[in-house]
Chain A
């Protein structure tokens, strides 16, 4: 049973527009959520995170929104740039030193 779901395997956006990547989770014990960016043949790099006590966290062009009642989070990238083209993984974990559970990823292509 997949606890973290990214239902869109791919997304194409024009440069300068907003990219919205979505993620749903089923485990109500998750209290920390993260987004990672991954290029082929490389390890994931941390992008942004949000604690369950917040509903929004912003860092530059990246904003993560959390809707706990819907068990849904989203990553907004604005404006999108060609260098943002990568696979984005949503991840979640319980409190404590627990491993992350990842979604399957969404491949974002930003077209110039």
Chain B
């Protein structure tokens, strides 16, 4: 079964509105979660690293004021796309790795199901 869950799977919104995507680790605590973005026929591009209890680390070129990340607990990270525009339409995927020494720490990342955002 899925160990990382994302919600919503699909979202359509009007330009200028904000959209929140949730990422939950279901059976383990994730001190770090990663947010990726995928454009059609492109690779998964890392947007930011979300650390529980501290500020996210953003990759170069990713606007931190536009893509707000909150990692308030060890099982939940949220990505909020603020004032969305059509060019923000994409497939957003979160991932998590269990903490060292705990369950689910096997080195690989577990990915959520992904959230497809369409901004009209």
Using a CB–CB distance below 8 Å, which chain A residues touch chain B? Answer: 9, 32, 34, 36, 41-46, 49, 89, 97, 99-105
Contact = CB atoms under 8 A, between A and B. Distances in A.
A104 B116 contact: no
Nearest to A6: B43
B107 A99 contact: no
14 contacts: A9-B41, A41-B91, A42-B113, A43-B113, A44-B111, A49-B108, A89-B44, A97-B31, A99-B46, A99-B49, A102-B44, A104-B42, A104-B43, A105-B43
Contacts of B116: 41
The DSSP consensus for interface residues of chain B is strand
A34 B43 contact: no
A32 B107 contact: yes
Contacts, number: 51
The DSSP consensus for interface residues of chain A is loop
B24 interface: no
A38 to B, nearest CB: 9
B34 interface: yes
Contacts of A43: 4, 6, 93, 95, 111-114
B32 interface: yes
Contact of A44 (B42, B46, B93): B93
B28 interface: no
A56 to B, nearest CB: 17
Contacts of A104: 42-43
A97 B111 CA distance: 15
